[in-house]
């Protein structure tokens, strides 16, 4: 006889926030979040000071899985060029999913428009880590200006993610040639 462990109220709230906010936006109400999680508002406010704190915690809980999916493994022996292209291949793969709404971290930053919001700070940290990855790989690959290349790559990443998220375009067949052109221009091998 196996006993299924029911997720805690906190885990259910984090999952509901991740799902509903990604699908419906940050304006989702507390009532809807609590209903989806099967948790009372009283319980939610005992676990989280505010909806803003819940949103930030939900993003934080998703951050490591997002990075693990997106970035190559640390023991990956590919060249810096291959490691950078891997990120964009992952984005193209994710963007092909029918429920893809764009990078959840970028979406939250755009919707909130407040860099001081707790969730914006979490999202900004994730995006900064991605830019740091690009800069480090660019340096190791011999880029003429690693910081500029990192900024260009994050711009392409966010733009491709946003365009795919609103179903205006797909990065497949478009993103690799674009990134390759940037890598070539910067001298990354």
Predicted pLDDT of residue 77? 81
Helix H, strand E, coil C: the string for 144-172 is: CCHHHHHHHHHHHHHHHHHHHHCCCCCCC
Instruction: Write out the CATH class of domain 55-186.
Output: mainly alpha
State the Cα–Cα distance between residues 183 and 168, nearest whole angstrom: 25
Region 134-140: mean pLDDT is 97
Measuring CA to CA, how many Å separate 90 from each of 19, 47, 54, 137? Answer: 20, 34, 28, 17
Q: CA 177, 179, 182, 183 torsion: positive or negative?
A: negative
Please state, in angstroms and rounded to a whole number, the distance separating the CA atoms of residues 63 and 104. Answer: 10
Global pTM value: 0.91
pLDDT tens digits, 22-81: 999 999 999 999 999 999 999 999 999 999 999 999 999 999 999 999 999 888 789 999
CB of 119 closer than 8 Å to CB of 143 = no
């Amino acid at each position: 006889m196996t006993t299924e462990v029911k997720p805690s109220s906190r885990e259910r709230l984090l999952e509901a926030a991740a799902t509903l906010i990604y699908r419906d936006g940050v304006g989702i109400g507390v009532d809807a979040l609590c209903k989806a999680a099967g948790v009372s508002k009283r319980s939610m406010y005992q676990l989280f000071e505010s909806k803003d704190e819940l949103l930030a915690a939900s993003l934080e809980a998703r951050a490591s899985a997002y990075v693990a999916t997106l970035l190559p493994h640390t023991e990956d022996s590919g060249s810096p060029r291959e490691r950078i292209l891997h990120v964009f291949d992952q984005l193209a793969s994710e963007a092909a999913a029918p429920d893809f709404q764009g990078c959840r971290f970028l979406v939250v930053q755009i919707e909130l428009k407040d860099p001081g919001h707790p969730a914006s700070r979490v999202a900004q940290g994730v995006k900064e880590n991605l830019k740091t990855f690009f800069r480090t790989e660019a340096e190791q690959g011999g880029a003429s200006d690693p910081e500029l290349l990192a900024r260009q790559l994050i711009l392409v990443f966010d733009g491709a993610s946003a365009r795919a998220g609103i179903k205006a375009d797909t990065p497949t067949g478009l993103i690799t040639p674009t990134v390759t052109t940037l890598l070539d221009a910067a001298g990354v091998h």
